[in-house]
Amino acid sequence: MKYLSEIFLSKGTKFFDITLDLRSRILVLVAAILLLPTFFFPLYNMTLYSNQFPDGLNLYIYSYKLEGGKTPNRDDLREINSLNHYIGMRALFEDDFTEFKWIPFVIGGVMLLAFRVVVFGKMSKLVDLFVLFTYFGIFSFWSFYHKLYLYGHNLDPTAAIKVEPFTPPLFGHKTMANFEVYNYPDIGSYFMAVIPLLLLAAIWFSYKSSKKEKVNN
């Protein structure tokens, strides 16, 4: 057993000591650049339809702010908060979303770590980046779902309109009272979804390159 563990540790050490090839470094650099759009494009888009709003009310969720769709005569975020008041749901205020304070900071940190991987070119640092970003993505989705749950379940019992506690959809469609609610990832999330795929590809290419070098030597 001790011998097997020593072999495993030895192979693990050799794997993490692999030097990244040029192709992998370029992929990591592209991944870092693809994080930039997450500062400018929404991560999620929620749309609510009803007889009163047949064209839909739009809510765009960015990494650092909430923004309602706007027309000359209407601010969708204000309309949504007005509707929320009638069913006893808390108004949507940016200050209540602590995620807006730390998500941009984490994205910036990931970009810096990606540039560090490109410069130092070690597999260990690339694996660390992949694990960190994957954890960040999973935790962010959980945090978003938890926020939706809290908003839909902490309803004011004295509200004018009584509805059963609910959770707005994290992905897809749900009927809530007389509203049809659609919630889907937006452009920013699609950019973020590509990042771990690029990092995995970078890990794979450098691993294959190191094996090929061993065979040639």
pLDDT value for 215: 63
Residue range(s) defining the domain that contains residue 90:
19-216
pLDDT value for 4: 45
Establish if 7 belongs to a structural domain: no
Burial 149-176 (b: 16+ CB within 10 A, else e): eebbeebeeeeeeeeeebebbbeeeeeb
Establish if 170 belongs to a structural domain: yes
pLDDT along the chain (217 residues), means of 10: 49 76 93 91 89 85 87 82 80 80 90 93 92 91 86 80 79 80 90 93 89 67
pLDDT value for 174: 83
Establish if 10 belongs to a structural domain: no
Domains in the chain, number: 1
Establish if 13 belongs to a structural domain: no
Please state the pTM of the whole predicted model: 0.82
Alpha helices in 69-185 (DSSP H): 76-87, 99-120, 123-153
pLDDT value for 89: 80
